[in-house]
Amino acid sequence: MKGLVRRYRAMPLRSRLALLVTSAVALAVAAVAVSCWLLTRDQLREQMDDSLRSLNVGGAYLGETVANCRDTGQSPNDETAPGTTTVFVQVVQPDGTRCVGRGSTPVVVEDSDLVVAQHLREQTLHDGKTDSGQPVRVLTQTQGNVTVSLSRPLSEVDTPLNRLALLLAFVAGIGVIGAGAAGLWVARTGLRPVDELTMAVEHVARTEDLNLRIPVDGDDEIARLSESFNSMTASLASSRDLQQQLIADAGHELRTPLTSLRTNIELLARSEETGRAIPPDDRKALLASVTAQMTELAALIGDLQELSRTDAGPGGGKVQVVALHDIVEAALERARLRGPELTFTADLAPWFVRAEPAALERAIVNILDNAVKFGPPGSTVEVALQAGTLTVRDHGPGIPADELPHVFDRFWRSPSARSLPGSGLGLSIVARTVHQSGGEVELRPASGGGTVATVRLPGAAAPPPKTPDQAGA
């Protein structure tokens, strides 16, 4: 049995489907054929029994039979009983002897016949056989003062039943063969989209071509599978394009500080090799430039690491309920150190959100850094947090309307800001962090000049109650 199961599982899917369809149809056809044969047999036998019950043998014939009682071994005459065809008549005596009617074939007397002959039962109906072994249907009953046994050959029933069996077997065979062919056709037709999907997957694995799409026809499970495959390849292609774009942009941004750093180091090295001292002021300027470029390079690498971690989704840090107003206050302390010439005003109402604390603080610091970078000395940076909406407004030059759609793109920098330090990744990190926390972020021009950065995060004005486990901890 286990070997059959293993062989079945090793068969191709379309062969298994065709085999299942064929088996199901074969069982149904066999059940119908057997039921038809049994019903027909019962009907024919019932008709034969009814004909035996309705048969009435004349008293004169029975009297003649008893009067001329012959020995059971005597061969019957060629004559038939009056008014009957293929009906064997014999009289059964209580002692088991029999008197075979003229023109009839002797039938073996059985115990059930003796029970009727001894007047213990009115009649009996059973299968029997002649002395020569021919199967017959026997009705033994009392008629007048004698016990009569009437018999008809079962060949009258068996012959049409055999013909019916051959016909049903032929029809069933044709049906099973047709079902097998239909099952194979259905399996091939139904699995054609699966074959196309398999070929598409193999093509993608072989060529890494993620632009392949499978035609979707209908709205069944196979169509949904094709749609899911197309969505998956589209997402993979988009992710690969973003990765390639990130690598290209990162390489472009890294090239500038690396080139400048290499040039300054080569000047310092050439000065040491040739023995030509660089003037103290120039040497100090070169070292300051090297330090600044290394700082810019380190900041760019840090931004790239943060952006790649953010792209991978939440999980770099533990998501928990944090006080947004405390995080904004901590970010303000860092911003005041970076912009001592600016004035910061803060109006912070309590607000609690679910987020990664470090990533959220990094995003708010990036927003405040932009305000510090573009705010003119002596200006004010206004920070407010009300009902989950954080606004940071500076009084700098503002952002032109045609540049607003690009401010959250990676490595994008305004032409007016290219001379300022930065990697062009800060606002992209802000957007990713805020979106992963379920919020929204936007930049818009402020009335009277400057820019307003708005961050909206879902949360509550009070922290959620602690669970028993947290309270015990």
Arithmetic mean of pLDDT, 247-276: 76
Q: How confident is the model at residue 464 (pLDDT cuts 50, 70, 90)?
A: confident
For residue 317, pLDDT beyond 80? no
For residue 296, pLDDT beyond 70? no
For residue 394, pLDDT beyond 80? yes
Residues 138 and 240 in one domain: no
CATH at residue 135: 3.30.450
Domains contained in the chain, number: 3
CA-based radius of gyration for the chain: 51
Residues 382 and 449 in one domain: yes
SS3 string, 284-301, reads HHHHHHHHHHHHHHHHHH
Arithmetic mean of pLDDT, 37-65: 82
CATH at residue 380: 3.30.565.10
Arithmetic mean of pLDDT, 186-209: 78
> 0.85 cut: is pTM over it?
no
Cα separations (Å) of 319 from 148, 230, 258, 358, 433?
101, 32, 36, 10, 12
Residues 136 and 255 in one domain: no
Predicted local distance difference test score (pLDDT) of residue 345: 92
Predicted local distance difference test score (pLDDT) of residue 340: 84
Structural domain boundaries enclosing 241 = 221-308
pLDDT digits (tens, 9 = 90+) for 68-126: 664 444 434 434 444 445 788 888 888 888 888 887 889 999 999 999 988 888 889 99
Mean pLDDT of the chain, nearest integer: 79
Arithmetic mean of pLDDT, 141-157: 88
pLDDT digits (tens, 9 = 90+) for 432-461: 888 888 899 999 888 888 889 999 999 998
Has residue 173 been placed in a domain?
no
E strands, 352-445, are 352-355, 380-386, 389-393, 440-445
Has residue 114 been placed in a domain?
yes
Residues 81 and 113 in one domain: yes
pLDDT digits (tens, 9 = 90+) for 131-147: 999 999 999 998 878 88
Residues 279 and 251 in one domain: yes
Query: Would you tell me how many other CB atoms lie within 10 Å of the CB of residue 175?
Result: 17
